[in-house]
Structure 1
Amino acid sequence: MNQANLFEMFGLTEDVASEGKFIPRRLKAVPDTIAELPEKTEGERIAKVKAVLKWLMVNFPTSFSYSGGKDSSAVLGLAMAAAAELAAAGEKIKPFAVLNADTLVENPRVHAVTKGELAKLRAWISRHKLPGTVHVARPNLISQFAVSIIGQGSLPSTPETKRDCTVDWKSRPLSKLRKAVLGTNDVRSGQYVVSVTGVRYIRPSIEFTR
């Protein structure tokens, strides 16, 4: 597929295409009635997030990335509460998947906690008869720590050198699993999966040193 076809697929103008720039196209946005909900108090913010998630899960197949940390746990908890409320109201929810990456080198206690949370999540989905599934992605054999370091003589990944662990142990396995569970995106025809994860807006690091 040439560049012109790619720009056409993502709805870019000829002027943008001729300049060789990529500008993402906004495919859909939440209705103004949701976007304009108040968010001054904690209760208002929670209600607004749940409203956004409800709109999302009614309109799109959704993939939730879950690591077991604070951010992804908060987002997933709100999403599952929203889904249960939708189901109780008789609303039809699009299929969704919760994806977790098992790097195979995690601390055993952390791994056990995450495994237990995933079991609770499966029970919640079953109890509320939600159209969701829970899956665990693992790196392929050639990318696993022991094979890579011992078998191939690679150096361990560090923030200062390379980030193979993030790509090979998490990103690629999760992407492959998402496609297997929810299908491949076809933006041109309007068929695509919305991926959801938690992002934290933190204060300056000095706040954490006091």
Structure 2
Amino acid sequence: MKLLHIKVSPNLTGSASRIVANHLLTKLNQRYRALTETVLDLAQQPLPHLDALTVSAFLTKAEERSAEQRQALALSEQLVDQLLAHDTLLISSPMWNLGLPSVLKAWFDHITRAGRTFAFTAEGEKVGLVTDKKVFVVLANGTPLIGWPTEADDQFTPYITTALRYIGITDVRFIRVDGTHHPLTKTAAVPEAIAAADLLVNMLPA
């Protein structure tokens, strides 16, 4: 298993998503002895948001791109190549204001590329090109999604699921660390998520 681990939380030591993701990695490593991990830490090395030159390069045929456009595209190409080189993706992230931290959204913007990670059929339908990969998402949120806001207000989970399906990835499994800052749930949030991670790994094919 070649695993790309995308870390998002800026809390480098006490992050619930990082703690549970590290436990999940330990369990995966026990189950798949040949596991190798590549880390992309977006908190320590945040990606730039797309600028006008990069967007223009996205929209220009490869053979027609200027030297400046090719240079602007270099980071995106590197990130796409990195994704394609791995068979498993682990995203460990907090939910902020019901959605994605902007550094994670920037990663999706860089790797969602016509001709690289998706294509158009002759009929104009989009087809994902990134197939045969599995994704684990460890998602931590400070307030439990009960009462208000509810799970229906969660913008993170449907975005991740749809954005991955857009490029061809449909095997996506979530581990929720729910209510990490709420007085009634914070004590149990991480242990319950770790138990869920154990159960998930035990259900995976050997």
TM-score (ref. length: structure 1)? 0.39
Structure number, greater radius of gyration: 1
